[in-house]
Structures are given as structure tokens and as C-alpha cells.
Amino acid sequence: MGGPPRVATTRPVSGRARARRLSEGISRLLVAAVAIPIVLGLLYLGGWWAFALAAVAAAIALHEFWLLARPLSPLAPAGYVGGLLALLGAELGGVTWMVGGLMTTFALAFLLKGISGSRQAPTVSISATVTAAVWIGAGLGFLLLVRDMPDHGRLAAFAVVLSVWAGDTFAYFGGRIFGRHKLAPATSPGKTWEGFAFGTAATIFVAFVTLYDSRDTYLSIGEAVALGAVLAVVAPLGDLFESLLKRDMKVKDTGTLLGGHGGMLDRIDALLFAAPAAYFCILAFLQH
């Protein structure tokens, strides 16, 4: 009854798909090889060099967000001003001034909506604008705040950036090679639990190694591992947050600026969640 049992089959991967994956992987490695020394060099210098790095990344990422969220009619000038003032505030006066810079987004968005000819609902337009300014401006602003921490700010910024990059890279290749179980199929079908496991191990290991020499003067081994664990959880959430927005707007990548990495926003999405978490995590450890 019911005929012979069905045999599960796996659809073979075409040669074109293999070539595309290989090309994408090579592109990611090449972009990383060029970008990592530049980013680390500017973070090493700190001050206005780090600010310039964050400001350029924010401007590009905001531009990509405006294109992504075009159906929502975001008020781009207000977002640019609020996001960049947040970075300026972070560099000049810390968290308080950064929040002050972000608050200008509300007022400017309200003003621009009042004089614009867009028929989009004000709630939608203003919300999209504020979301971009806070997400991108504050996310990168917290990276500046980590870098400007006294005594070991440079080391802390290196630990955050390198750990997030390592986690993202190992999650990508681990998922490609060993991925079988979907992590969030409705939001990002390409992410797997196997990739997450590889990314978590890499994130914690890099945080541990980067901070090891300062174990007696800065963060202990346990605190370094705890920081890595926090980053391992929070960074993928940043990635998934952007994936949710892209799925909502029905686009694959926010741009093609960085080859296999996609756009700037595709590259820094994990960092935008990881930097604030790292800042408050380190602050809690140092005040303990």
C-alpha cells in the first residue's frame, strides 16, 4: 500500500553555484586583506583619525539605508545630520553629547516632514529616519567611545573589531562547509547553527588572545572570555537585524561597494550591535 518508500535526495550544487560561492569567498578575503590594515591603523592613531573612519563609514552606511528604505520616504538630511553629530558628540564629550547629537534627528525630521511633499505617513518617515541615525550613528559612536576609554582604549577597540571580524568570517566559512541546521530560516536562510558555533568559538578565542597580555592590568582572563561571549551573541543579532530589514524591503544586499561583503552596511551590521554591548560590558568590568 502506498507504493515503494521514497528515497530522500539532495539536489546537487551546480558548477555555476560553486564558482559563484568560490568567487564570493575570494572577494571577501581580498576586501578584508585591504580593509583590516586601514581600519586598525586609523584605530591605532585614534582621535580625529578614528572619527574620520567612523564618519566615512556612517555616511556610506546611511546612504545605503536611504536606498534600502526608499519606500518609507526617510528624511535623509535629518538622518545625516543626527548621525554625524552623534559621532562628533561621542568624540568631543562622551555618551551625553552623543545622545544630544542624536536628538537633533527628531527635530530636523519633524521640520523636514512638514515642508516635504511626500505623502508617506509622518510616523513612517520619521521613524525610518530616526532608526537609521540611532542604529548607525550610535553604533559607530560607541566604537569611538571604546577607543577613547582611558589607559587601554586602543587595545579594547582592537579586541572588539578583531573579535567581531573573526566571528563573522568563521561563521561564514563554517556555515558554508558544515552548515546543516538553519539558525533563523525566516529571517536569514543562509545562517546555520554550525556557523554560529564556529563564529562563537572564534570570537571568544580572539578576544581572549587580544586581551591576554593585559590580564593583570586591565581585564582578567575571565572578563576577557565573558566579553568574547557577549560579542559572540550580540554581533550575530546585529547581522540578523539587518537581514530582517533587507527581507522586509525585499533586497539581498545593501550595496556592492565591498564586493563579496556587499555594501558598507552589510559589513558593519554586527559591529553596530557589538560596539554598544562591548562599551557597557567593559565599563561594568572596570567599575566592579
pLDDT band at 188 (very low <50, low <70, confident <90, very high): confident
- What does the pLDDT read at residue 52? 97
- Determine the average pLDDT of the residues in 223-233: 98
Residue 191 host element (H or E)? strand 188-192
- What does the pLDDT read at residue 5? 46
Please report where in the chains the cell 562591548 appears, as a residue: 278
User: Which residue, among 198, 164, 166, 165, has the nearest Cα to 181 in the 3D structure?
Assistant: 198
Return the DSSP state at 288: -
Phi-psi sector, 4: left (phi>0), alpha (psi -120 to 50), beta: beta
The whole-angstrom separation of Cα 282 and Cα 224 is: 9
- Determine the average pLDDT of the residues in 198-204: 97
Indicate the average pLDDT of the chain: 89
How confident is the model over 70-89, as pLDDT tens digits?
999 999 999 999 999 999 99
The whole-angstrom separation of Cα 283 and Cα 160 is: 14
Percent of the chain with pLDDT over 90: 70
Please report where in the chains the cell 535629518 appears, as a residue: 78
User: Which residue, among 42, 96, 105, has the nearest Cα to 76 in the 3D structure?
Assistant: 105
Percentages of the chain per state (helix, strand, coil), in multiples of 5? 80, 5, 20
Return the DSSP state at 255: -
- What does the pLDDT read at residue 204? 98
- Determine the average pLDDT of the residues in 266-278: 95
- What does the pLDDT read at residue 172? 87
The whole-angstrom separation of Cα 201 and Cα 271 is: 17
Alpha-carbon distances, residue 22 vs 19, 166, 173, 260 (angstroms): 5, 19, 11, 10
- pLDDT tops 90 at residue 278: yes
Residue 218 cell numbers, joined: 586591565
Return the DSSP state at 213: G
Residue 78 cell numbers, joined: 535629518
The whole-angstrom separation of Cα 199 and Cα 235 is: 10
Full-prediction pTM beyond 0.85? yes
How confident is the model over 121-153, as pLDDT tens digits?
999 999 999 999 999 999 999 999 999 998 899
| Furthest C-alpha separation in the chain | 77
> What are the start-end ranges of the E strands in 165-277?
182-184, 188-192
Return the DSSP state at 218: S
Percent of the chain with pLDDT over 70: 88
Return the DSSP state at 261: G
Structure-model confidence comparison of residues 227 and 250, the more confident one: 227
- pLDDT tops 80 at residue 64: yes
